[in-house]
Amino acid sequence: MAVLGGILVVLYLLVFFSGGASGGWKDRLEPRLGLDLVGGTRLTLEATNTLDGRAPTATNLEQARQIIESRVNAYGVAEAEVVTEGDRNIVISLPGENRDLSEVGSAAELRFRKVLKIADGSGALPSPAPTESAAPTPTGSPSPSGSVSPTPNAEATSSPSAGGQGGSAPTPTPTPSATPSATPSPTASEEPVPQSIEEQRQAVEQKVGAEAWAAASALQAPADLTADPSLAEKLKPFAELSGREVAVLPAQMQFNVPTIGCLQLDDRPPASISNADQPAVACEGGYAKNLLDVAKVLGTDVASASAVRDQTAQWVVSLNFSGSGQEKWTNLTREAFHNEGQACDATALGDEGKCRVAVVLDNAIISSPQIQGVLTGNSQITGNFSNAEASELAGYLNYGALPVTFQAQEQQNVTATLGASHLRAGLLAAGIGMLLVIIYSFFYYRLLGSVIFLSLIMSALLLFGALVVLGRQIGFTLTLAGIAGIIVSLGVAADSFVIYFERLKDEIRDGRSPRSAVPRAWIRARRTIISANAITIMSAVVLYIVSVGTVKGFAFALGLATVLDLLVVFLFRHPIMTMLARSKAFLSPRVSGLGRALPARSSEQSPSRNPRAKEA
């Protein structure tokens, strides 16, 4: 019992004074609660490797988990939990706060690509009275306004717009979605998708027809449908393609066919343009199609990115590259600044006549600033950012190179009110369960019921302290399922009492004194108690290994409570029974439940002890 007391002292010293303990005494006694008890957000992301839908490797999934966790932390979110489930899912839990977390997994891979051309991305067919806004111009709305400059000469050239132009932070509009857009035909999702890209391309060719395919293949530049109405009719079938079907088309065809719009391009599956050695097409602001060069700088080349203030007190994004990455970045900015080979046409030049470099995450352009010089060192992306916009863009640049791609499957928001209701219900259920065990114990075992009561109190103190410490050290979060595991453990604890006490009754019926009955009953009951608890612990371990989600919390809580019950059995229950065996009340029929075993023993042994009394 002294050892148990020492364990309790050490445990609660950790509770009150270990690393992570802060606030008042009440705050230090609070375990880490799951979002189903305090409210919050849970987002499930499904990972895929390529367009064929294969599951990612365990290594890539773990790398992605770490990057996503860094992204969430970069948003200033505290107490977020990011875990893997199965072979392709990542679950993000944010207790205590409702927030849209879908963006943290929407971007798969970071690429830096030079913008070669810009075309209209509305995808609309010509109307009798076409407007000028439908045609891209060198200085129109598709043109950038932000810039990238060396750190010493940074300057904000203009402000970002809502369309995601220039150096602006990413906007929800161009972000790929897991749900189909209104553009695809109703039958697109019902048709089986072939595994190889070539087979998918042949299926698309058959769908649009030979005439439309031939007309699209012959285009060398974005077609002017207002000048050739017959061409508009030929290319009309491309407007009915889904995002997945558009993704398998060549980049030149995606760009040149005007009936392929940004709705379809933004709806392409993740990893559609992840090949760094191929040109790509991506939209900016939801209306401007950008033809992009091969990616000459990757997300892995970025050493760090941060939101800082420049000399004019404006928020900018500071970029640092790795050793090899800096060389690649310098070469890319040299090409863009001098427009080598006139690769960037008039539509793609910025308002200062310089080429732009698009920062592409997955299928979307999050920033496309123009280059203001050959950047041989630290660089800055300027654009009259707010603090939040600069921090968000820096977060994407820091954690954009995910090794796998993701689609959001489910986002669940639990209000704080509902979470508090769940917590009250869980605590009420645990209290009722413990009360029923205590009532039954006192009714059946009388004085020995106090041993059960005190043992449960000791187990509860150990369990509560362990939950607080484990929440700080390993991030264990108590959920409603965990409370259910604790309630089930009450039955396991009560079962070990029954085994011990019934063995004790058997020893007393065999004629042994209380002092000799207690150790013999302990030896006989000990193996059974250990075996029963070991089976429960093994079941909890297996359930924890093979399960996902909140079931893991149930298994962990059940296993932990069972282990602590074994500790209490050895360090408290048996010693206190040895002490009680020395008291006269221990065998009193009115006080102790063990007294019921005495009449049977007395009636069986009295004739042999005093046979003359019976004859008289």
397 inside domain: no
599 inside domain: yes
Reading the block at residue 211, the tokens are 């005439």
CATH code, domain carrying 462: 1.20.1640.10
Give the rounded percent of residues in the chain with a pLDDT score beyond 70: 75
70 inside domain: no
Q: Which residue pairs from 211-217 have beta carbons closer than 8 angstroms and sit at least 24 positions apart in sequence?
A: 212/236, 212/237, 212/238, 216/253, 216/256, 216/257, 217/253
For residue 135, pLDDT over 50 is answered with no
Using DSSP bridges, classify how beta strands 370-371 and 302-309 pair: parallel, antiparallel or unpaired. Answer: unpaired
Cβ contact 171:155 at 8 Å:
no
Mean pLDDT of the 148-169 span: 37
88 inside domain: no
pLDDT, greater one: 81 or 125: 81
Please write the tens of the pLDDT for every residue from 583-599.
776 656 566 666 555 55
For residue 531, pLDDT over 70 is answered with yes
**From the CB of residue 244, how many other CB atoms can be counted at a distance below 10 Å?**
21
Cβ contact 64:47 at 8 Å:
yes
Averaged confidence pLDDT in the chain:
76
Please write the tens of the pLDDT for every residue from 335-390.
888 888 888 988 888 877 889 998 887 777 878 888 888 888 888 888 778 888 88
Q: What whole-number distance in Å separates Cα of residue 408 and Cα of residue 182?
A: 19
Please report which confidence band the pLDDT of residue 163 belongs to, taking 50, 70 and 90 as the band edges: very low
Reading the block at residue 195, the tokens are 């595994």
Count the helices and strands in the chain (H runs, E runs): 20, 14
Please write the tens of the pLDDT for every residue from 455-484.
888 988 999 999 888 888 877 778 888 888
Reading the block at residue 458, the tokens are 């000791």
Cβ contact 295:113 at 8 Å:
yes
In angstroms, the first-to-last Cα distance of the chain is 52
341 inside domain: no
Residue found by looking up tokens 């839908």 in the block = 53
Containing structural domain, residue 592: 415-603
* pLDDT for the residue numbered 606: 42
Please write the tens of the pLDDT for every residue from 198-231.
888 888 989 999 998 999 898 888 888 777 788 8
* pLDDT for the residue numbered 592: 66
Q: What whole-number distance in Å separates Cα of residue 435 and Cα of residue 427?
A: 12
Total count of domains within the chain: 1
Please write the tens of the pLDDT for every residue from 253-306.
999 998 898 888 888 876 678 788 889 999 887 778 999 999 988 877 888 888
Reading the block at residue 42, the tokens are 């849970």
**From the CB of residue 445, how many other CB atoms can be counted at a distance below 10 Å?**
20
Helix (H) or strand (E) holding 79: none
492 inside domain: yes
DSSP state of 322: -
Q: What whole-number distance in Å separates Cα of residue 483 and Cα of residue 474?
A: 18
Give the rounded percent of residues in the chain with a pLDDT score beyond 90: 9
6 inside domain: no
pTM of the model: 0.51
460 inside domain: yes
Please report which confidence band the pLDDT of residue 76 belongs to, taking 50, 70 and 90 as the band edges: low
Cβ contact 591:584 at 8 Å:
no
Q: Who's near 19: CB < 8 A, 6+ residues apart?
A: 472
* pLDDT for the residue numbered 64: 80
Closest alpha carbon to 358 in 564, 47, 115: 115
Q: What whole-number distance in Å separates Cα of residue 336 and Cα of residue 241?
A: 34
Mean pLDDT of the 434-442 span: 85
Sheet of 379-385, strands arranged across: 302-309, 315-321, 379-385, 147-150, 370-371
